[in-house]
Each structure stands twice: as C-alpha cells, then as structure tokens.
Chain A
C-alpha cells in the first residue's frame, strides 16, 4: 500500500524568502506524484505533477518539485514567497500498477507568508 507524509503541518516564511514544503512517500514502486494547492473556500488545484522523465518538475505560480527516488521524496519549492502563496498544500501519490483512480493525499501543510 502506498502512503504519503508531509513533514510540518504549518510552515511560516517571510515574503521573498524560500518556500520549502516536504513530502515523502512510501510505495513498492515509484508512484505518480502530485502537488495541489487549496485556497480558502476553494477546491484543490493542481500545482504540478511527476509522471515520468525529468525529475525536476516546474509548475504554476513559480513552484517546482524534484523527484528523488533514493530519498523517496518530492519536496515543493519556490525561490521567493509572495503573500498570495498563503494557502494549504497537499502532496498526493497514485499507484503506477493499478488504474483505480485512487490517489492518496497527505495531511496538508498550511503555508503562512509574513509581510
């Protein structure tokens, strides 16, 4: 069975500082990996995903993530935080071996951006 762990339920950074949100997964084979963002009173929105190929994935709003198989990680980064980045971020994994539409989501990390 696959699982995903997001280290740190709350992360606070200053505007202009580096954003680093951590995600580690557990799976028998490397899964498909996703980062979603949820703004207040909205549904989740895809930031980026890794399926195959280049391990450094660029997403929307200046975010990127790197798949590191040896570390079973898929951490999300952004060089310079903006006030509008304040939201909840979810890492998710999907099994490569089955086509069941069952993604496993992490518990989420709330990002606060201080002026």
Chain B
C-alpha cells in the first residue's frame, strides 16, 4: 500500500449503531487530519493530530470520537449519528504542521446515516 488508505470506502449505518473509520498513512508523516466533505459545503476540518497528540478539535460533536494510536494510524469512532452527518469523510496527512506542508488525502469513506 502506498499513500493514504481509508477503510471502509462506503458505510451505511443507523442512528443507533457504533462504527469506526480507519485511516493509515504510509508516508512517514507526523501529522494527520480528519475532514468532513458535504455536498454544497466547503471542506470542514474536524481534528488534527501531531505526533499522536490532538492539536485541534474544531468544535466537533462528541458523537465523533477520534483516536490516534501512532503517527501512522487514525480512527474516527462514530456513535448515535444523525442523518445530517452523512458525508464523505476524508483523512489526510502531512510531514508536519508547518503551513508550507501540503496534505496528502485518502480516497475517503462515504458515510450514509439512515
């Protein structure tokens, strides 16, 4: 595997389910990100991790719970979601947090909440 991978690619869940999204980067980067991409809305930054430590939580509801066990893996645990949470969830990584570092994105997980 190369770059940034995300599993699953598609997920359908009910509002009472618990599921997790997984992201893995094979680039040796130190920073990882979760974004939400909804139709007709700009890309929304959710969480930022640097060297496994959370550095940013962009006022995300607690029904989204991130976990970063090491610099290569990032999870997003989901529970009691709402239909408006349906979106494409993108994971990204970068060498570091400095602004000149571009981000490398995974293909995303298309989430549908019924």
A residues with a Cβ closer than 8 A to B are 31-32, 34, 36, 41-46, 49, 51, 90, 94-96, 98-103, 105-108
- Main secondary structure, interface of A, reads loop
Known contacts being A32-B100, A34-B102, is A101 close to B31, with CB within 8 Å?
Answer: yes
The answer to whether A101 touches B97, judged by C-beta atoms less than 8 angstroms apart, is yes
Q: With a CB–CB cut-off of 8 A, which chain B residues contact A34?
A: 102
B3 to chain A, nearest CB (A): 9
Beyond A43-B4, A49-B102, A101-B98, 13 extra complex contacts between A and B, CB < 8 Å: A32-B99, A32-B100, A41-B107, A42-B108, A43-B105, A44-B90, A95-B99, A100-B48, A100-B97, A100-B99, A105-B42, A106-B42, A107-B42
Question: Can you list the 3 inter-chain pairs with the closest CB atoms, starting with the nearest?
Answer: A43-B105, A94-B99, A101-B97
For this complex, 5 residue pairs linking A to B, each with C-beta atoms less than 8 Å apart, are A41-B107, A43-B4, A43-B105, A99-B97, A100-B56
